[in-house]
Structure 1
Amino acid sequence: MNFSFKNDYAEGCHPNILKALVQFNFDQQNGYGLDEYSQLAEQIIQEKIKSETSKVHFVAGGTQANLIVISAFLRPHESVVSASTGHIFTNEAGAIEATGHKVHSVEKADGKLNPEDIQSILDGHQNIPHQLKPKLVYISNSTEIGTIYTQQELEDLSKFCKENELYLFMDGARLPQALMAFGNDLNLEEIAKLTDAFYLGGTKNGALLGEAIVINNQSLQPEFGFHIKQKGAMLAKGRLLGIQFLELMRGDLYLQLAAYANAKAMLLKSAFTEIGCEFLTDTFTNQIFPIVSIEQAENLAEHFDFYQWKKLENDKVAIRIITSWATNEEAVEQFATKIRALKS
């Protein structure tokens, strides 16, 4: 079986989490997120973001987090703005539209929205009863193509959204990887100040499953639990999520795991750079998108698994390679050797 670089959730979970799940297995706890582990995990996240007024809710996965947040925040006639690469637009089987909320997409080569992009959508919707009303801006950090937002970019988005009475929601499935990327100048405290809500990803960063939804806008907090329950996302054994995030947040393990994943991706990026490859986007997270010939892609696919992301002109293809917190170092070295051999 080939070693897989297709995603960052192919492995189970970090040993600390398994150990904690076993250690606390026979403790009797309240259900539905009212257990002491979930409550303590919420307190630690509030401390990390320096916001005691933010509310934290744990759910099983990213699509679930996006679906619940967006459907809870919006009234029936309101809609969402997203980059065309956004996960809610491309990879969630129309989950948002299924709740009755249209997703307006903006083509973006770098996967990042700016105020001008959002304004282009607002210009086509004049806030009259005949049209949908754009109300929420959805962004991802890191994006689905591995790029990250700078502090200035997020400040500009936040300011624009406030001026135009729009909610700003950040998909953080790979937020730890963004925070540990070279060139990043954002931290959790600033993200909490600049967004109405975001979520901190666990599934793609060492947890068995789970995301931590953080609601910063106090007007959006009341009765959010009802939406979680109605969407079937309120686990009776909510402790399973609380324990995992408690372990991830202790000692900043979630950042250590992300830094490891990023570093392994950069080793592979360096190998592709050495043989003269260009990249679809210049990334410093755990996702890279080198451009190779179809023949080269087929050669590498004989030994390693990855996705062919986008077909290009002249028999070229951008491939997507993702590393994880558990990516085997020997596999990375072997892959790098195969990459360098493409030149000859």
Structure 2
Amino acid sequence: MMARYSFKNDYSEGCHPNILEALARSNFQQEAGYGLDSHSTKAKEMIRSLIKNQEAKIHFIAGGTLSNLLVISSLLRSYQSVISCECGHILQNETAAIEATGHKIHSIKSDNGKLTVQAIDSLINEIGNNFPHSEKPGLIYISNPTEVGTIYYKDELKKLSDYCRENDLYLYMDGARLGHALTAEGNDINIEDIARLTDVFYIGGTKNGALLGEAIVINTEKVNEEFEYSIKQRGALMAKGRILGIQFEELLKDNLYFKLAKHANNLSMQLKNALLKKGYPLLSDTVTNQIFPIMDNQKIEELLKKFDFYIWQKIDKKRSAIRLITSWATEEDKVNDLIQEL
């Protein structure tokens, strides 16, 4: 039986060939451990230059869930909580990793996956000042792009940033697909803006051409104090840290990271336009590499014979929304094959 082509995620393939070649070249070179190697040092310098902040602290971590757990548990005091959109990754896809560290997550409903100052302020007022009997929100968690493929625009991010600084809240951005947000059609934020407007964010590698790895970027001195202890305590400090450093060193050369994300976005928009032309409604108006078309369940079963994807949400008895994702390695002819089957 012929294998189904996967539009299920953006990490089905291994990594970009440049990374494999760089790993092979360095294989017999002796390097310092625990992220003190020359490649990690170089990659950190490249990130600081990219965000134009020489004071930023950079930490390479194996995965996104571990990055979220490390940042949130390190930033918050034991009695503080997190505010997230109800579709936030930390709420829906991380097995209560944050709650397991003792921090409650407050959820906010959103049709487009984004948080607003008004919604956050309303929730905080609802929680009230039941001092000292209720938890105290200490961090706002957002992802860019969101879990439903939408992006934050500059005015939206600035309002969130201003509100957080006025109300002594940390602003943390999950950047698992950050490259796709920054190369999306209509995006008006650059990575310098993100570094300036957030306290912490991370640059996702796993979903954009790396074998594994995320780069946590800390922009505030308050967070830098002894963060390395948390990394080691949570089992996230890799002895062979060079493996992560080499990957980001390669991804940041010649804008490869952004070229790969743009490739995924371009094919996604090609698929989106075809879906709209054929009359399929969308669950959300996405501009990144995730699309959520609504289809008859019978049509979904037909497509599943040739393609792999998630059935995302039941709409009614006859229809469901599915999720289609393109990646840095998606082949255009496979997208055309899917379009033919629509």
| Band of TM-score, shorter chain | over 0.9
Partner of 2:62: 60
Distance, in Å, in 1 between the alignment partners of 2:34 and 2:147 is 31
Aligned equivalent of 2:276, options 273, 282, 299? 273
Partner of 2:26: 24
Q: Deviations over 1:292-333 (max 9, x none)?
A: 111111111111011110001251111100010001222111
**1:250 to 2:266 alignment:** no
**1:311 to 2:310 alignment:** no
**1:157 to 2:149 alignment:** no
* Conservation of the 8 A alpha-carbon contact between 1:125 and 1:134: no
Q: What does 1:1-344 correspond to in 2, within 5 Å?
A: 1-123=3-125, 124-126=127-129, 128-313=131-316, 315-339=318-342
Superposition deviation, residue 13 in structure 1: 0.2
Give SS of 2:193's match: helix
Superposition deviation, residue 38 in structure 1: 0.5
Superposition deviation, residue 121 in structure 1: 2.0
Superposition deviation, residue 219 in structure 1: 1.1
Identity of counterpart residues, as a percentage? 55
Distance, in Å, in 2 between the alignment partners of 1:121 and 1:37 is 44
Structure 1 unpaired stretches of 5+: 340-344
Superposition deviation, residue 125 in structure 1: 3.1
- Give every structure 1 segment of 4 or more consecutive aligned residues whose post-TM-superposition deviation is greater than 2 Å: none
* Conservation of the 8 A alpha-carbon contact between 1:176 and 1:255: yes
Q: State the TM-score, normalized to the length of structure 2.
A: 0.98
Q: Deviations over 1:76-134 (max 9, x none)?
A: 00000000000000000000000000000001110000101111221113161100000
Distance, in Å, in 1 between the alignment partners of 2:239 and 2:99 is 28
Q: State the TM-score, normalized to the length of structure 1.
A: 0.97
Give SS of 1:278's match: coil
Equivalent residue pairs, number = 339
Measured on the aligned residues, the alpha-carbon RMSD in Å equals 0.8
Distance, in Å, in 2 between the alignment partners of 1:222 and 1:160 is 24
Distance, in Å, in 1 between the alignment partners of 2:330 and 2:137 is 40
Q: Deviations over 1:40-89 (max 9, x none)?
A: 10010000000001100000000000000000000000000000000000
* Conservation of the 8 A alpha-carbon contact between 1:127 and 1:133: no
Structure 2 unpaired stretches of 5+: none
